Amino acid sequence: MHDTSQAYGLWTVVILNSALFIFFAFTFFKPQSARDWRSFGAFSAFLVALFTEMYGFPLTIYLLLPWLQSRFPGVNWLTHDAGHLLEEMVGWRGNPHFGPFHILSDVFIGGGFWLLSASWPPLYRAQKESKLATSGPYARIRHPQYVAFVLVMIGFLLQWPTLLTLAMFPILVFMYWRLAKTEERDSLAAFGDSYAAYMRTTPAFIPRLGAARSAGKPLASPTTKENLHVVDR
């Protein structure tokens, strides 16, 4: 059964949700350099745009309303439940929070924030020991924190797709890819063969199936955020 109450214009909820998720991301990512802040700021802008439409002003619903009403008659598209567009479009008529896309979104969002939090301890230890972070998520991929941001964004797009966030998503993914490539060039210039060896054994974004690179073969070299933190961004 759907909630038929109006659920927009709730700007306090917009601010609280944006602040909460941005704070979580800040706590896990811990931006320090200018490059860190750019990547974190872009992710924060995505969250603000998302929650503005989720609870403030449903721009996507208003723009698509004529098409939605013609294709899916009988749905009150200005209720909060109807804002879960994917559930409505596939005909899910139960509570959208238990719908297939919402459940899948929870997996992506939870997995993304877990990856952010799991990436920080090995990075912090590597900073203190002045070597590369090669344990934990860094044993599987070179840029787990950027991957985590992308997972969270995919999760929110499955849960509450909007025209603005759909437009922002490929731009942000490209930005993270460019940041990762820039960091790798800086790291290779600063640390040479040690980072080159790490690149040969560890994929950038998508982990290989099977065992991770042996943690018993550490790469001794100073570390940065994503992976060599002392390099100025």
Total domain count for the chain?
1
Residue 231 binned pLDDT confidence (cut-offs 50, 70, 90): very low
* Interval 76-132: pLDDT, tens: 898 889 999 999 999 888 899 999 999 999 999 999 999 999 998 887 787 777 777
Q: Which has more pLDDT, 43 or 223?
A: 43
Which of helix, strand or coil describes residue 220?
coil
> Does residue 23 fall inside a structural domain?
yes
76 DSSP assignment: -
> Does residue 84 fall inside a structural domain?
yes
Is it the case that residue 232 has pLDDT exceeding 50? Answer: no
> Does residue 143 fall inside a structural domain?
yes
* 224 DSSP β-pair partners: 227, 229
180/213 Cα distance (integer angstroms): 20
- Residue 180 near residue 146, CB atoms below 8 Å: yes
Task: Tell me the two tokens of residue 192.
Answer: 């040479």
* Interval 47-63: pLDDT, tens: 999 999 999 999 999 99
> Does residue 193 fall inside a structural domain?
yes
Phi-psi region of 136 (alpha: psi -120 to 50; beta: other; left: phi over 0): left
> Does residue 224 fall inside a structural domain?
no
CATH number at residue 94: 1.20.120
Domain extent, residue 106, equals 11-213
> Does residue 6 fall inside a structural domain?
no
> Does residue 219 fall inside a structural domain?
no
> Does residue 5 fall inside a structural domain?
no
* Interval 168-196: pLDDT, tens: 999 999 999 998 998 888 878 877 788 89
